[in-house]
Structure 1
Amino acid sequence: MNEISLFRIYVLRALYLLITIGLGINIWPTIIRHATPWEFMHGVELCMMASFSLLCALGIRYPIQMLPVLMWELVWKTMWLAIVAFPLWQSGHLEEKMLPDVFAISLVVLVYLALPWSYVYRHYVKKQGERWRND
């Protein structure tokens, strides 16, 4: 029995590919060519995004097994939009220089559309968790 349609699997693969290419174009050249030390948080951000791109590349081959990576993406971006961007926009303090980042982060809508929600519910909410000890 196939829990997820082949079409949905290809949608997931396309999303993983889009993320891999997007971050490959934007993050990896900075990582490869950097010549001077980065500020702490800038380095953290670049390394996290680079590792995320590698995990998404793995998701092209294993789209279902790598769902937690997309779920992490969905959670942090949704939180950022709700806790940072929306209040700034609502108060009129969202700076124009932030708009490209807000747009890029708002593409999280693609993750909402691609995730097989019934599978996520069955396997991450409803399913019994792993045992905690050997009894």
Structure 2
Amino acid sequence: MKMESVILQAALLLGFGYTTFISANFEITTTGNSGEGFSQGSEAILACTINPYTGSQTWKVDNVSVADCGFVLCSENTSNPERYSFMPNVSTGNFLFTINPVEYADDGNIDCFDGSNTETFTMVVTDPSTTSTTETAQS
């Protein structure tokens, strides 16, 4: 129950775009499901919770490490620092990865790796003009 409350509060606080929660124990709680579309130009926020945090966390985009933590020392290894941001909290085991703005090149797999287990999120980037046309047609 407490975990559900924390997740709901975080989703409400993050606000814009999609917020996706990935748990290292392979439970996924999300407001935007893996494989669903993120509009090009939107903000995507992924949260990986590792409980208990044992001193290792890595975000990978298409198998390339973009950010990692070893115990309390965290670093970003990205060629897109203007679009990718990483907010680790090693004391709680919560690791946020933000892509803003989402681009078509982001289409693919994003992994949260805890040193022995990997949780994969499939990012699908959609055309916002197509999405709004479809929504208008259904109204």
Normalising to structure 1: TM-score of the pair? 0.26
Higher relative contact order (CA 8 A, sep 6+): 1
* Structure with more of its chain in helix, by fraction: 1
Normalising to structure 2: TM-score of the pair? 0.26
* Structure with more of its chain in strand, by fraction: 2
